[in-house]
Amino acid sequence: MHDTIGKTLLNPISLGSVCSYELCGNTIMVRLFGLLPVQAIHLADVHYLRLAARDEPTTAYLLFNWPQLLPHYRSVSPVYVLQTHKRRRIFLKLNGRAHFKLRQAIGRQHEHRPQRIAA
């Protein structure tokens, strides 16, 4: 299995989120105030990552991140929803580079192993 090389900051702390999200190898690290690791989500546990609908984020998320839903901001760093197999949902603002790296890392985790062909 391939690992993601290095670390990628997916979503920095902001007024609406006291946690940052960082891609480290095959894990998404959730850090309180951008420093203290409070949770690790293995990429194999990710059920899906998709663009969030305007009415999907929680009220608390919208209260602090309402500018993110304006068309200009939405095109620069759209809001995505990541759901785990345990139904935990995380809302992330991802720019194009972070989105690409995360999708690539998730895809590597969900690749099917090559099947053996009978000779």
Which CATH number is 52's domain given? Answer: 2.30.29.30
Task: Give residue 15's domain range.
Answer: 7-109
pLDDT at 7: 85
Q: Distance between CA atoms of 17 and 54, rounded to whole angstroms?
A: 18
9 neighbors 98 (Cβ within 8 angstroms): yes
Question: Is there a domain that residue 82 lies in?
Answer: yes
pLDDT at 54: 74
Query: What is residue 48's three-state secondary structure?
Result: strand
Q: Residue 106: how many CB atoms within 10 A of its CB?
A: 20
pLDDT 10s digits, 38-50: 989 998 888 988 8
Q: Number of folded domains in the chain? A: 1
Instruction: Write down the pTM of the prediction.
Output: 0.71
91 neighbors 63 (Cβ within 8 angstroms): no
Q: Distance between CA atoms of 49 and 113, rounded to whole angstroms?
A: 22
Q: Residue 58: how many CB atoms within 10 A of its CB?
A: 9
Q: What is the DSSP string of 63-80?
A: HHHGGGGSHHHHHHS-EE
pLDDT 10s digits, 31-78: 988 889 998 999 888 898 888 887 777 776 666 666 656 665 555 567
pLDDT at 68: 59
